[in-house]
Structure 1
C-alpha cells in the first residue's frame, strides 16, 4: 500500500499546467514502479507524452473496467501557506487533481497486490483543464485492442460535501461547455464625427444584450443553460470611436443537443448584428472534448445501490454547470463520474483551496469495494 497523505502532499507541491505534466508523470511512474509488477503493464503514448496507462491482468477476465485520474493543475498562485504548498510559482492544484491521482494510486496499489477477477486499466490523464486530454487519447485510438475499456469511472472533488462523502446521479452530472470568441470589425473615427465611423462598441454591446435572450427564449424553462461573456475589449482612447471589438465567453448546457442549438443561435444573432450594424462579425465556437458528463443509467444505478449499503456516506446530487472532458470519454464509453466530498474549504479554482485529506481513504476503500462488486456481477454483455 502507499501512504496516501504523503503521496497527495508530494503531488501537491509539483503542480503543472496542461500538456506539461513532466514532473508529475515521473513521480507517478516512480510510485507505480514500487508496486508488485506481476499483473501490471505500464504504457505511455506518443500523442500524449505525459499520460500513463496501467493495465492489470485479471485472473478470470470477462470485461475490462477503467479508472481515470486527471493530472494537470491551474495557473493560480497558491496562498494557503501550507508546509507542502506549491513549489511552482503561479501554478497550484486549485482543482484538487492531486487528490484525484492519489485516490487512483491507492486503488491501483490494492489491485497490484490483490489480483482482480477482471482486467483493470488506470488512465492518468493530462490536460483536463484545457486541451481536452481525454479527447486526444480517445481520438488517437488509445483505448483499442488490449486497452479497450468496457466501463469507465472517475471522480471529482467537491468542497461543499463532508469529507469522504460520495455523491452522484443518473444522467447528466456536469454540463458541456464551449468557448466563445467573437471579433467585430467596423471603422475607426473621431468621436466628434460618428457618421464617418462605424462604432464597434455599440455593435458589440447590442450583441451582448441580445445574447442574454437566447437562453431565456430558446431553452425550455425546465432545462438549464448559460451564456456568459467574461471579456470585452474595444478602443484605445476616449475620443476615438472603436473600429474593432473582441469578446470572449463561454456557453454551458446539460445536453449536447442544447449546446448545438445555442451555437446555432449565436451564429444567427451574429449574422443579424453584422447586417444591422454594417460590420463584419467573426464567431469561433470551440467545444473540444468538453461534452456533458452523462452517467450511464444502468451502471450508475448499480453504483448508487452499492454505495447506499457500503460503509461510506452517500448522497444523491443535482447537476451543475461545471465542465469536464470526462464527458467526451463517457460519450464513447459507458460509465460513471461521481463527486468526492472534501469538506468545508474555499471553492474550486481559488488560491486558498485546501481539501480535507480525510477524504482520501474513504474514497479508496469505496472504489476498491465497488470495483470488486462490479467484477462479481460479470460482463454487461
Structure 2
C-alpha cells in the first residue's frame, strides 16, 4: 500500500480522538475505510464502538489475531501539527492513531492477497479506560472467532525508527488506577478548630503514600505509586470539606500489587482516625501484566533478525500498563515496541511520532503474518 495514503489516514484519525466507548466517529471512519476494500475474503462485525474483521484463509489450520486499540486521551493537544485534534480536550497522545493506521495497512494487503491461515483484526475500544479488552474477549464475536495466537504493538518514542523492541515473558507491569475521596467538615478559615480540613488531610496522605514503595515493597521487586492529581476546596478563605486524590499503581508482580493496596488501605484508615474524617477508595481500571509467550516471542525475534533490516532490541520490562495483557492471559501471543523517534513521551500532549514508522511496521507485519500463515 502507498505509504503516503497511510499517512493521510493517520492524520485523519489523529484529528478525531475519542474517549473509551465513545469512539463513534472513529468507528465510522474505520468502517468506511474497511468497506472500500475488496470484500471477497472479509467478514466484518462490530462490537460496541469496536470492530472485528476476519480474513478467510485459503487453507486454514489456525487463526492469527492482530489487535489495535482505538481510543484517545483527555488532554489538550500542544503539538506543532497542522492536523491537530478537532475535539477540544481530547488527543491521541498514546499513538493509537498510528496503531489503527498500521492495522489498516496490513488488512489492506491481506484483503487483496489471501493468506493461507485465517487472520483476525481486532480494533479494540477503551484501552485507556475503563478497559475494553476483558469485555471484548467475553463477547459472542470473540467466542466464535477465537484466535489461536495474537500479536499487538505499541509505539515507543524513545527508540529510533527502524527499531523494534520486545522480550520473552514480562513486558508490561500490572497496573491499577487509584482514586481516594476524603470528606471532613468545612468552614471559615478563621475558625479552623470547628472544622476537619481535608486539604491538610490530603497533604498528609500523599506524603505517606510515598513511603509505601521505599518501606513496604521488596527492594528486589519493583513498584510505583504516583499521585497525578489533587483537588479540593472552593476558595482561599474556606476550609475544604472534601479532597480527592488521583493516581496510579504499577508493579511487576501480582503479590506486590496486593501488598501496595493493603498498605494504601491501612494508611487511609489512619487518616480517617487522625483527622476525624471519612474516606473511600476506588481502584478504577485494573490491568494485568503483559506477559509474552516465550516460544512465539523468540520465533518473532529470530524472524525479525533473519528476514529484515530492522534492528531488534531485547529490552527490559517496563512499568507501562496495557489491557492487551488480558488477551495474553487467554491466547498465546506477544506485544512489541515500535520505535517512532519522538523527544516527547507517551501521554505527553506534545507527542509527535515519526510517520515513517508506519510503513516500517506495516511491511514487517505483512511479512511476518505471511511467514506465520505458511508455517
TM above 0.5, yes or no, is: yes
Identify which of 176, 179, 186 aligns with 2:177: 179
CA deviations over 1:263-287 (Å, ceiling 9, x no partner): 2221122223323443322211123
Deviates more, 1:334-343 or 1:206-215: 206-215
Distance 1:267 1:54, change over 3 A: same
CA deviations over 1:188-225 (Å, ceiling 9, x no partner): 45556555443434433332222122111222212211
Deviates more, 1:238-247 or 1:351-360: 238-247
Distance 2:116 2:52 in 1: 19
Deviates more, 1:64-73 or 1:226-235: 226-235
Question: Do the aligned residues in 1 keep the contact of 2:64 with 2:117 (CA within 8 Å)?
Answer: yes
Question: Do the aligned residues in 2 keep the contact of 1:164 with 1:360 (CA within 8 Å)?
Answer: no
Whether 1:10 aligns to 2:12 is yes
Distance 1:5 1:253, change over 3 A: same
Identify which of 268, 280, 291 aligns with 1:294: 291
Paired position in structure 2 for 1:169 = 167
Question: Do the aligned residues in 2 keep the contact of 1:233 with 1:246 (CA within 8 Å)?
Answer: yes
Distance 1:65 1:58 in 2: 10
How far the C-alpha of 1:242 sits from its partner, in A, is: 3.8
Deviates more, 1:343-352 or 1:194-203: 194-203
Paired position in structure 1 for 2:141 = 142
1:17 is paired with a residue whose SS is coil
Distance 2:216 2:290 in 1: 22
Distance 2:185 2:239 in 1: 8
Paired position in structure 2 for 1:56 = 55
Paired position in structure 2 for 1:330 = 328
How far the C-alpha of 1:124 sits from its partner, in A, is: 0.9
CA deviations over 1:89-138 (Å, ceiling 9, x no partner): 44332222121111111111222222212111000112222221222212
CA deviations over 1:25-49 (Å, ceiling 9, x no partner): 222222222222121111112xx1x
How far the C-alpha of 1:322 sits from its partner, in A, is: 2.0
Deviates more, 1:231-240 or 1:175-184: 231-240
How far the C-alpha of 1:253 sits from its partner, in A, is: 1.3
Paired position in structure 1 for 2:371 = 373
What runs of 5+ residues in structure 1 fail to find an aligned partner? none
Distance 1:81 1:212, change over 3 A: closer
Paired position in structure 1 for 2:106 = 107
Paired position in structure 2 for 1:40 = 42
Whether 1:20 aligns to 2:22 is yes
Identify which of 213, 216, 229 aligns with 1:215: 213
How far the C-alpha of 1:327 sits from its partner, in A, is: 1.8
The aligned runs of 1:175-254 (5 Å cut-off) are: 175-189=173-187, 194-237=192-235, 240-254=238-252
How far the C-alpha of 1:262 sits from its partner, in A, is: 1.6
Distance 1:237 1:177, change over 3 A: same
CA deviations over 1:166-206 (Å, ceiling 9, x no partner): 11111222222212111223334555655544343443333
Paired position in structure 1 for 2:306 = 309
Distance 1:142 1:190, change over 3 A: same
What runs of 5+ residues in structure 2 fail to find an aligned partner? none
TM-score by length of 1: 0.89
2:141 is paired with a residue whose SS is coil
How far the C-alpha of 1:67 sits from its partner, in A, is: 0.3
Distance 1:238 1:73, change over 3 A: closer
Whether 1:30 aligns to 2:32 is yes
Distance 2:237 2:26 in 1: 51
Paired position in structure 1 for 2:156 = 158
- Please provide the CA RMSD for this pair: 2.2
2:283 is paired with a residue whose SS is strand
Distance 2:75 2:192 in 1: 42
Paired position in structure 2 for 1:352 = 350
Distance 1:341 1:181 in 2: 33
Deviates more, 1:179-188 or 1:215-224: 179-188
